[in-house]
Amino acid sequence: MNLHPHLPSLSFWEHESFFSDIDLAIIGSGLVGLSAAITAKERHPDWKVVVFERGPIPVGASTRNAGFACFGSLTELLDDLETMTEQEMMELVQLRYNGLQKLRSRVGDATMDFKGTGNFEIFRKEEGATFEKCLAKLSYFNELMESVTGLKETYTVQSSTDFPFSNIEYIIKNNAEGQIHTGKMMNALLEKSFGLGIRIYNGISIADLKDNGNKVLIKTEGEWDIKAAKVVVATNGFARYLLPDQEVNPARNQVLITEPIKELAVNGCFHYDKGYVYFRNVGNRILLGGARNQFEQQEATVEFGNTPNLQQKLLEILEEVILPGKD
């Protein structure tokens, strides 16, 4: 679909001033796109780095996530060990942890409201066997993680009575994780990009990429032809439209957020139902999302928006598990 059917062709001056001699073009101005742009510009200050964003602001996963600063819950790591070696798993964890530390140093904790609240994985009574499996590996993972986090006990068992949840018997805390304000994070990355001289062009959708050997031809939906020496596609689930040979499957995550709640006794980030459900406090509100595992086919889409069935499921979890008895 051509979003810009009436755009005029580029004049000589426009092409010369805005789109000539691009060393690196990045498609998408989300967390990955801006981080790649900033890193490239820091390493190559003389490069002309241009970011193309189809929306007026970075509307996508970077500004529509729950703001979890996380790198691995115990159930997630146990699942990883089913399909990869210990070394491969630890390399992945190290990359995630290093990325989080890089983001914190680049943006600043205060700027993006980073809070080291910890991340809590909560288990229902009927998930006792899964909890016991995690408990049996607690010391093993703590030994592995010490070289990553510097903590002797990255994972600890938490009392379920510390929170007002219903039908939650067991809790394991990751002491090295926390929460961030993703909107403030993105604002900071945009300001950092502008300060480095990175050009960000909004309202430009990319229709096609063609590698001609020494240059990549970028065709916009307004039918402009732009060339760049290198191109990074950082559009998450939308990448398959520009890179059809790559297996990229989209997954929508819906959320809801409550009105302010008096005397809210929930502070931190929480994973529930093997991580498919996640929630956190935002001040004195609860932000809750996920549950797409119960609607897999429906949620395998790049479409934005909420659906009544999944929103009802999230509401049930909120009322029956997270805040029982609260209006």
Among 138, 159, 177, which residue terminates a domain?
A: 177
pLDDT of residue 136 exceeding 70: yes
Residue 3 lies in a domain: no
Residue 116 lies in a domain: yes
141 and 108 within one domain: yes
Cα angle value 311/317/322 (rounded, 5°)? 130
92 and 134 within one domain: yes
Q: What is the pTM of this model?
A: 0.88
- Type and span of the H or E element at 307: none
164 and 24 within one domain: no
188 and 59 within one domain: yes
Residue 137 lies in a domain: yes
SS (H, E, C) 8-50: CCCCHHHHHHHHCCEEEEEECCCHHHHHHHHHHHHHCCCCCEE
Range from 115-129, 140-154, 177-191, 309-323 carrying the lowest mean pLDDT: 309-323
Q: What is the mean pLDDT of residues 25-41?
A: 96
296 and 162 within one domain: no
Distance CA 276, CA 293 (A): 7
Instruction: Return the half-sphere exposure (C-beta side, CA atoms, 13 A cut-off) of residue 269.
Output: 26
Residue 293 near residue 273 (C-beta atoms within 8 A): yes
Q: If we measure between CA atoms, which residue out of 184, 191, 218, 202 comes closest to residue 115?
A: 184
167 and 187 within one domain: no
CA distances to 2, 33, 133, 134 from 158, rounded to whole Å, are: 53, 37, 16, 13
Question: What is the structure's pLDDT at 166?
Answer: 92
Cα angle value 62/63/67 (rounded, 5°)? 80
161 and 197 within one domain: no
Distance CA 68, CA 301 (A): 22
The H-assigned helical ranges of the chain are 12-14, 31-43, 74-83, 86-107, 128-136, 138-149, 182-195, 296-299, 308-317
Q: How many CB atoms lie within 10 A of CB 92?
A: 15
Query: Can you name the residues that pair with 277 across neighbouring β-strands?
Result: 272, 290
Helix (H, G, I), strand (E, B) or coil at 302: coil
pLDDT of residue 85 exceeding 90: yes
Token digits of residue 129:
């066997």
Domain of 17 in residue numbering reads as 12-63+183-241
189 and 170 within one domain: no
171 and 79 within one domain: yes
Domain count, the chain: 3
Residue 235 lies in a domain: yes
**Counting runs of H as helices and runs of E as strands, what totals does the chain give?**
9, 15
Crossing angle of helices 128-136/138-149, nearest 10°? 60
Q: In whole angstroms, what separates CA 23 from the centre of its chain? A: 27
pLDDT of residue 176 exceeding 80: yes
Residue 246 near residue 240 (C-beta atoms within 8 A): yes
323 and 256 within one domain: yes
Residue 250's pLDDT band (cuts 50, 70, 90): low
pLDDT tens digit sequence for 181-234: 999 999 999 999 999 999 999 999 999 999 998 999 999 998 899 999 999 999
Residue 2's pLDDT band (cuts 50, 70, 90): very low
CATH of the domain at 216: 3.50.50.60
Distance CA 238, CA 53 (A): 12
